[in-house]
Structure 1
């Protein structure tokens, strides 16, 4: 058979023949990609990630790689997954076109083009196999029952399935189905560009997500941004310095960074940038000085505190219920010290209902952080909680005020106003542990959306419907309801008054009738 020829062409040669047939030259970066793909295949590496800048021809090259694999072994079964079926069909259609026209692939054309469509096709092969040689499927499609020796994940991550934690979790779950489709020893090849700071292509752990390792931690990687380390174009024949400068001028900075430089950032900038928070490691210490108690964080004395409880019974895992505390120092700066997402235990409902469990946790939180008061949103279910929380505080042995607060403002507006202003002024400190929580992820993903009450305890809509913003809402409640404190300015004992008067003067107040 043709597929058993003793010396088949290498992949780079295979691509060169195709390009010459089309009247094209083989670009240098395509030669590098081809060499990497062939080396990985020959050395037995079966988990590959190819990231390259937009319009670099990476999907075209991977399509040629699929044709080359069938050239070497016509019995291979290849499944192409993409964010939607149309994109997957595009690669299948291109590979079918290569097989029909490439001078080395004539033996793969079947005598009868029975199974020879744009969504799936089968080449001439010895094996009697149920699955086609190549098949397209959308990531949301049903691939149960399919079997493949090679799975190509071509742009499975796009903005519409990666702009929230819920959607990214769904994407990862769907990609996990590949393990049930792939034959033993099969190959997975991911091809794409990142669309999120929490991209499936990230090579570092994001602690706030709770992941133990990056999603593709075991994959061999080939990454090609549009500019090399010296700032030169990686495809100068197509993208000159002037052309790249033009792309930069027409493209938002973050989109250029993600799609052209392969940096793990969301193409759309979030309004609340965690990088603007000032991290600190110090604990809050209660001490006695000059006969009075004081609370210190490092060398700063705290003069006030704010605590906000945003209740919800949205789910047994506690999504929607959050409590946060912020201290304010004598210089008027804010110290975000702790956030807790509360959860109730369904197994304990016979001994304590949901509200009692959440209030007990909130009371323990307040006692631990020496908080003299807490504001409770009374929208929705919150109207029943203040009395339960007071009872929980009494049982805990902590004396504190419970302030009932009915929220009427739009959630988006109050989050943006409360947190955005403090961030912009550089006044928000955050304990280092905060970076380990999902609060940082909420900040990165949050975008204001119109609409009134609807989320959490009914305190107003905000963010996207499938985004969690409960931590943001709790912190915004702390900041918005604490008066701004100006730093103390020591007035000089003597100064020259521009109004023309210095010091004091005396006047005779004895007047004749």
Structure 2
């Protein structure tokens, strides 16, 4: 950029005077960061309703005022959305006291050149949607203004498509160019924290600087807040959507100072347990605009806690209401082992004895981009805990044979299952026989028999609605705190599938959830025998007793 003719803050204050705005400290902070942050990739995340895009339009006008040869590409979720920023910038250039004569007679909202621009091919500002063709474009700035919105991040595939489009910036930016992301996260797998993790500069301003949440408030009447209240005091909110209330000190609660925590810390004390999710906040970023009445109104209009957290507290969460959250599943990192004594078999998971188990297979073709052929194994202890030990996607043909006569199975999905049966001593498998699975039980039995494995196979016809079945299998143990999962399951595709899953959507990736719920709903089968042949030589034990033999199934 050419030498600054005026600072951005001064430019913005002049425009605020034209518009008769009162400029809060929040906006001064944003102005200074935009002017002085020179990192090649920047992320501006400010809570919903804070006028970040409005400020950014003034910033784009200031860039062109200082250097009319500046070339920017505005990239948004779609064309109409991207034009909002260019229209706003045109309005500033037309009316700002320092920008007289900079615009042509009829500037276009999609692209326009200011007086003094020297690139006939690339406009001073060009507005495009993320799915529009920008192959031949060149720019010194790419501004991603609300490029992530609910409609383009609903599935992992949609988010991958968004990232693929954004990669085009590699070919658009001139050497030394800069990217700026402006928006709020709309999913757990948001592009904004991903950019920050990759080294992007960040200015993040949530609605409240300090916060703490209590979800289980059915028993206690005292809740601590480990931060100092600001000049505007403490904000205490219970519930979400229509039942939400912003409570009043003295009427609904009292504040007691802490004798053990640092000065200013304290506790909220109720007469009766609140019985709803409780949020305690402090230091509102814009208290003049976001009054207590306005905050309560916004909370009542917000349908889910995830939406509130993502749009106002800038936490990367899916904004749709999901009844399944993998963060509620407990993790473990050990594999089961088998012990045999006096011809009896016992399975142990660490120090816990596993009494029963069952597996569930939802067959699919296992092709890239198609439905997942998902296989899940659930183990049970004697205390009512379920251990989701395997959630594996099977690939390839259902079975591969050694010759044209199909006499011996040499590979395919059924052999992948046979290996899992051998490894984890699986004694029973239910196979969903809807559609493609109709012929799979017999084929799987053939493979197990060929490998010398004693494992029961049962056909299962799924008659209930799949989403209802997933909820019926997974929600109760998750809500009760008895569902565990191996770290390999949690680190695999199941995590994102559950995060994205919406019970109101009919067609969505749900193979792992379907197989996991199917295994939980299946009748448990006691583990009391070895599915394969015991280790050779056990009958020649030199000890007087039969002894104890361990077979470890760890990698």
Fold-level match, TM-score > 0.5? Answer: yes
Cα offset, 1:241, TM superposition: 3.3
Judged with a 3 Å threshold, the aligned counterparts in structure 2 of structure 1 residues 34 and 350 are, in CA distance, closer, same or farther, namely farther
**Equivalent residue in structure 2 for 1:399, among 412, 429, 454:** 454
Cα offset, 1:78, TM superposition: 1.0
Cα distance in 2 between the residues matched to 1:422 and 1:448? 17
Cα distance in 2 between the residues matched to 1:38 and 1:182? 20
Cα offset, 1:480, TM superposition: 1.1
Instruction: Give the TM-score taking structure 1 as reference length.
Output: 0.82
Cα distance in 1 between the residues matched to 2:411 and 2:487? 30
* Residue 162 (structure 2) aligns with: 171
Instruction: Give the TM-score taking structure 2 as reference length.
Output: 0.76
Cα distance in 1 between the residues matched to 2:413 and 2:99? 67
Judged with a 3 Å threshold, the aligned counterparts in structure 2 of structure 1 residues 64 and 307 are, in CA distance, closer, same or farther, namely same
Write the mapping of 1:9-408 to structure 2, written as runs, cut at 5 A: 9-41=6-38, 45-110=39-104, 113=105, 116-125=107-116, 127-203=118-194, 217-229=198-210, 230=229, 231-251=282-302, 252-289=304-341, 292-313=344-365, 315-316=367-368, 319-344=371-396, 356-408=411-463
1:472 aligns with 2:472: no
**Equivalent residue in structure 1 for 2:498, among 443, 447, 452:** 443
Contact 2:44 2:181 (8 Å CA) reproduced: yes
Alignment RMSD (CA, Å): 2.5
Cα offset, 1:7, TM superposition: 5.4
Judged with a 3 Å threshold, the aligned counterparts in structure 2 of structure 1 residues 216 and 180 are, in CA distance, closer, same or farther, namely farther
Cα distance in 2 between the residues matched to 1:395 and 1:350? 13
Cα distance in 1 between the residues matched to 2:56 and 2:124? 16
5+ residue gaps, structure 2: 211-228, 230-281, 527-555
Cα distance in 2 between the residues matched to 1:8 and 1:62? 18
* Residue 225 (structure 2) aligns with: none
Judged with a 3 Å threshold, the aligned counterparts in structure 2 of structure 1 residues 38 and 163 are, in CA distance, closer, same or farther, namely same
Moved runs in structure 1, 4+ residues, more than 6 A?
348-355
Aligned residues: 451
Contact 2:117 2:124 (8 Å CA) reproduced: no
Cα offset, 1:26, TM superposition: 2.1
5+ residue gaps, structure 1: 204-213, 450-462, 486-513
Cα distance in 2 between the residues matched to 1:380 and 1:415? 19
Contact 1:15 1:26 (8 Å CA) reproduced: no
Judged with a 3 Å threshold, the aligned counterparts in structure 2 of structure 1 residues 136 and 361 are, in CA distance, closer, same or farther, namely same
Q: Going by fraction, where is strand more abundant, 1 or 2?
A: 2
Contact 2:358 2:525 (8 Å CA) reproduced: no
Cα offset, 1:321, TM superposition: 0.5
